[in-house]
Amino acid sequence: MNHQFSRMQFVQSPIIPVVGELINAHPGTISLGQGVVYYNPPTEAFEAISNFANSDNHKYKAVVGIQPLQEVIAAKLQAENRILITDKNCIVVTAGSNMGFMNAVLAMTSPGDEIILQTPYYFNHEMAIMMANCQPILVETDEHYQLRPEAIKQAITEKTRAVVTISPNNPTGAVYSEKALREVNEICRQHEIYQINDEAYEYFTYNNIKHFSPGSINNSENHTISLFSLSKAYGFASWRIGYMVIPEHLRFPIQKVQDTILICPPVISQYAAIGALKAGLNYCKPKIKEIAEVREIMLEELSQLDSFCTVPSADGAFYVLLKIDTNLPAMTLVEKLIQEFKVAVIPGTTFGITEGCYLRVAYGALQKETATEGIQRLVKGLKQLV
């Protein structure tokens, strides 16, 4: 059959499996590529599974998530994010925040509509927009990877349906200021479009930088979509549990999408999520402190490259986006680093960077000793290759 005109031909291939194949071909490679944490879920998550096993939970459950998890999430949102669940908004439990994003795009758009992304963008967001036959409109962040509200405003057209913000940011590690996020939210209100704010890395901030949730802004419920995930803070990547806070008027469109794709999030994972969220920040904080220590080691090692490598402050998440002064294409540099120095990073091209050579380094997946070895290999490799 001729699949020449399939929409999927216009969607980029996920880069993580591509780099994964290169890693597998070179045993002993240390990966500073994929964005996961080094630690496992809390004990409370596994203990909570007994509540699943002892009940009649082997049938389909509510599309938007089981009530006990809904209640725990609502309490967390109010206490930590200052987001109050009312009759104007609601929670939808999802199979990770990527699904939340896809839910939102399909629920609010028609083919040909536009969604504004900040560049560098998170590649799965761009892919989801393309899959929905919509158009990503790219707005560059500033030299520090911070939002440019005026540029966002100028990019809005009659086809614009949403502005996407990610803070703390993947791939840059930037944390957007409350002021800038409020400005973008107000722009969205004025233009009657949505702000989709991805907060998967909400706990990962450093240097006393504070995370801010636009969903906490007064009277923002009708135009704000907030995406959250347990994958990062609770080591829940394979359990596939996230959640979204959406305007009440999007409940039924999003239920249609989720019921079609998933029916309901994995119920056993939802019970585990209840346990994880009850363990709460007390479990996460010491783990994140260790990641912060790796971050300091990384920044110190990378300082050796300041003659040809620009290292941003990266006050959030567990990424740093390096700008390398070289004529080598980013993917070529990635391949050489794996083949010759056995260390893996991700090319900036997959995040929508079309000029220059950029590499995303992820430093949350490894414990200190291994991470340090990987960073040292990276520094050695860049010194010799650039």
Q: Which residues contact 252 (CB under 8 A, 6 or more apart)?
A: none
At the topology level, CATH places domain 43-280 in Aspartate Aminotransferase; domain 2 (3.40.640)
In this prediction, residue 226 carries a pLDDT of 98
Our CA angle for 216, 82, 101, nearest 5°, is 60
Q: What is the pLDDT of residues 108-152, one digit of tens each?
A: 999 999 999 999 999 999 999 999 999 999 999 999 999 999 999
pLDDT band (50, 70, 90) for residue 306: very high
Alpha carbons 140 and 310: distance in angstroms, whole number = 18
Positive or negative torsion for Cα 213, 217, 221, 223: negative
Looking only at the bridges linking them, the beta strands covering 160-166 and 114-119 are parallel
Q: Which pLDDT belongs to residue 316?
A: 98
Average pLDDT over residues 192-211: 97
- Which of the four pLDDT bands, split at 50, 70 and 90, describes residue 2? low
Which range has the worst mean pLDDT, 3-12, 42-51, 135-144, 170-179?
A: 3-12
CA separation, residue 21 to residues 261, 284, 339 (Å)? 28, 31, 12
Is 87 exposed, middle or buried (CB count within 10 Å of its CB: 0-12, 13-18, 19+)? exposed
Burial of 158 (0-12, 13-18, 19+ CB in 10 A): exposed
DSSP string of 91-118? EEEESSHHHHHHHHHHHH--TT-EEEEE
Q: Where are the domains of the chain?
A: 7-40+282-385, 43-280
Give the pLDDT of residue 12. Answer: 86
pLDDT of residue 7: 79
Query: Rounded to an integer, what distance in angstroms lies between the CA atom of residue 377 and that of residue 119?
Result: 28
pLDDT band at 56 (very low <50, low <70, confident <90, very high): confident
Q: How far apart are CA 27 and CA 30, in angstroms?
A: 9
User: What pLDDT does 53 receive?
Assistant: 84
CATH number of 7-40+282-385: 3.90.1150.10
How far apart are the C-alpha atoms of 206 and 292, rounded to whole Å?
A: 7
Q: What is the pLDDT of residue 6?
A: 77
**Residue 92 burial (10 A CB sphere; 0-12, 13-18, 19+):** buried
pLDDT(3) > 60:
no
Burial of 309 (0-12, 13-18, 19+ CB in 10 A): buried
- Could you read off the pLDDT of 313-352 as tens digits, one per residue? 899 999 999 999 999 999 999 999 999 999 999 999 999 9
Query: Which of 257, 318, 269, 218 has the alpha carbon at shortest distance from 101?
Result: 257
Q: Please tell me the predicted confidence (pLDDT) of residue 8.
A: 82
Please report, rounded to a whole number, the percentage of residues in the chain having pLDDT higher than 70. 99
Query: What H or E segment, with its residue span, contains residue 194?
Result: strand 194-198
Average pLDDT, the chain: 96
**5: confidence class by pLDDT, cuts 50, 70, 90:** low
Here the tokens at position 9 are 């031909």
Contact 10, 130 (CB under 8 A): yes
Other CB atoms within a 10 A radius of the CB of residue 223 amount to 21
The pLDDT of residue 13 is 82
pLDDT digits (tens, 9 = 90+) for 224-254: 999 999 999 999 999 999 999 999 999 999 9
- Whole-prediction pTM value? 0.95
